[in-house]
Chains A and B, each alone.
Chain A
Amino acid sequence: MIRIENVSFARGGTEILRDVSLELPSGGVTAIVGPNGAGKSTLLSLIGRLQPLQAGRITVGGHAVDSTPGAELAKVLAILRQDNGVASRLRVRELVAFGRFPHSRGRLSNEDRAHVAASLAAFGLDAFAERFVETLSGGQRQRALIAMAFCQDTPCLLLDEPLNNLDMFHARDLMRRLRAAADERGRTVVAVLHDINHAAAYADRIVAMKDGRVVADGPPAELMTPETLERVFGHRIRVTTIDGRPVALHHL
């Protein structure tokens, strides 16, 4: 589904990605983890063609991201960026409806409206639907933006730190929805997560990055070992098992 071949990226003389290759098959949830500055967000924005490729090649569903028309790619992948300072005076419903733009080009059909309504309901936004985005709290705004990405209804969904600003309830809720999107509808979800335990609990696969390279890659059970985590994050982390799932005690 997503194929990344020998991608390198530098900005202002600093190497951010060094020869990254990855293959993510269709369906399933992949979590990208790693310390600050590992190149996770850059990799995600390269997949989402928000930045031009410098070296290497990326295809999503067979479409090369640097040569496929943007409008066509927007039906294949949706991307949510981390720093979405939407200060716009748009109503939540209007914002979410723009997620349908790749399909409707602005003329909403009844099907589009149904998608919008479903997304609003799914992320508990019904009560805010007619409020302006700029009047929402950080967490509510984040949910509105996630709803917009969901509303785009693409086979592939890229999320950069989607749990930012979310409270525990909504963080868990979002992770379950991502899981369900993969299980029930065969979506390919790639999310940069900073909490390794969210990754371990909900992802099929964890890709760990450090200094612009992929340093570990595998299912949670395989990756969640003190040795691997120390290699990635630089300090010894105890790992225990609760209900058959590995849990890292990284805060201790």
Chain B
Amino acid sequence: MTAIAARLTRPGFAAGGALALLFVVSLVVGVGDVSLSRLTHDPEAWRLVFASRLPRTLAAVLAGAGLAVAGLVMQALARNRFVEPTTAGTDQSAAAGVLLMTLLWPSSSLPVKTAGAAAAALAGTSVFLAVAHRLPPNQPFLVPLFGLIYGAVLGSAAMFVAWQADLIQFFEIWTRGEFSGVLRGRYELLWLSAAMVALAWWAADRLTILSLGRDVSIGLGLDYQAMMRLGLVIVSVVSALTVVVVGMIPFVGLVAPNLVTRALGDDLRRAAPWTAFVGAALTLGCDILGRIVRYPYEIPVGTILGAVGAALFLWLLFGRRA
């Protein structure tokens, strides 16, 4: 046990150090000078940090960690390595949900809208899982394929409604992940996704058993349906939160868990914390990248991750076979 602990702590320190470094870089980089030298004497710089940079950085870390763990849970539920909330209709359903809330109760508060989004995400993901479990298990690529197209169909239906209702601007905000609008007081809901990560960690053993299939789960005395629901709630709430607060961020939930489970295996108890780490670092890193590629303009993190994540996805698909 101690040998394993020793083996784990060194990369643990490395990862913690890397994330901390990204965190500091994220505080300093961007429009508006917050260089370290200025921080020593200028209170204005500190104001900028607390009002904008720190919330933005925290939002990226929370959203990244949440989405990565949601992806890990999703993969256990679907028993398929290549699914995640944006490729299973979850995010698209959440966007449709918040759209409906905006249409029907325009004056409802952000938490209420988020609840609506979560409910829609729950429904949309349940449909996906019901179909995914009926697809033949010997064709593992069928499930993500179905999920991608299912998400696209849901997304275009929602977009059609948004178009008709002249809400297309809002819809773009929900569907394109972006941290530039994050300010103090406008991201705090995202802390709930940290709670969801904790929930996944708490149920890690049972979620791992769930990934072994229905028969094994029942054989080991698990309440299969209840665990399925718990997993769905984790995935849906995280998705809804990110969609409402910062917008869709693709591929984090796919790439981070795959990178981690490749090295550590599918035991969620072991993989979940690392997945959260990698997801947070990936999201934060891409956000920083988006800030410097076309300085002083910003490129949304969703756009960056769409490219980076899709490339990594292809690598995951073919890397193993080579």
Contacts and interface: CB of A to CB of B under 8 A. Distances in A.
Contacts of A105: 205
Contacts of B221: 69-75, 101-102
Contacts of B204: 106
B206 interface: yes
A231 to B, nearest CB: 32
A133 to B, nearest CB: 9
A89 B221 CA distance: 22
Interface stretch (B103-111, B260-268, B290-298): B260-268
Contact of B137 (A79, A80, A85): A85
A90 B266 contact: yes
A241 interface: no
B200 to A, nearest CB: 13
B106 to A, nearest CB: 45
A94 interface: yes
Contact of B220 (A72, A87, A91, A102): A102
A105 B265 CA distance: 20
Contact of A91 (B79, B214, B262, B265): B265
Chain B CB count within 10 A is highest, among A69, A80, A86, for A86
Contact of A89 (B140, B223, B265): B265
A88 B137 CA distance: 13
A89 B257 CA distance: 12
A49 B224 CA distance: 12
Contacts of A78: 219
Interface in A37-82: 45, 48-50, 69-75, 78-81
A105 B212 CA distance: 16
Interface in B209-249: 209, 211-216, 218-224
Contacts of B219: 48, 50, 74, 78-81, 149, 152
A99 B212 CA distance: 12
B208 interface: yes
A123 interface: no
A78 B265 CA distance: 25
Given A71-B223, A85-B137, A88-B266, A98 B208 contact: yes
Nearest to B267: A94
B228 to A, nearest CB: 13
Interface residues of A, number: 34
B269 interface: yes
A106 B205 contact: yes
A84 interface: yes
A99 B266 contact: no
A128 interface: no
Given A71-B222, A71-B223, A75-B221, A90 B208 contact: yes
Interface string B107-139: 000000000000000000000000000000100
Interface residues on B, range: 20 to 34
A146 to B, nearest CB: 13
The CB with the most chain B CB atoms within 10 A, among A69, A89, A102, is that of: A89
Interface string A218-229: 000000000000
A81 B213 CA distance: 11
Contacts of B137: 85
A48 B140 CA distance: 28
A106 B220 CA distance: 11
Contacts of A84: 213, 215-216
A183 to B, nearest CB: 24
A87 B212 CA distance: 8
Contacts of A70: 218, 221-224
Contacts of B205: 98, 101, 105-106
Nearest to A100: B220
Contacts of B214: 50
A233 interface: no
Contacts of A101: 205-206, 209, 220-222
B222 A91 contact: no
B215 A81 contact: yes
A90 B209 contact: no
Contacts of A94: 208, 265, 267
B4 to A, nearest CB: 10
Nearest to A148: B216
The 7 closest A-B pairs by CB, nearest first: A74-B221, A106-B205, A71-B221, A89-B266, A102-B221, A89-B265, A70-B221
Interface of A: 45, 48-50, 69-75, 78-81, 84-91, 94-95, 98-99, 101-102, 105-106, 132, 149, 152
19 contacts: A49-B218, A70-B218, A70-B221, A70-B222, A70-B224, A79-B219, A84-B215, A86-B212, A86-B216, A87-B140, A88-B266, A89-B265, A90-B266, A90-B267, A98-B209, A101-B222, A106-B206, A132-B265, A152-B219
Given A71-B221, A84-B216, 18 more contacts: A48-B219, A70-B221, A70-B224, A73-B221, A79-B219, A81-B216, A85-B213, A89-B262, A91-B267, A95-B212, A98-B205, A98-B220, A99-B220, A101-B222, A106-B204, A132-B265, A149-B219, A152-B220
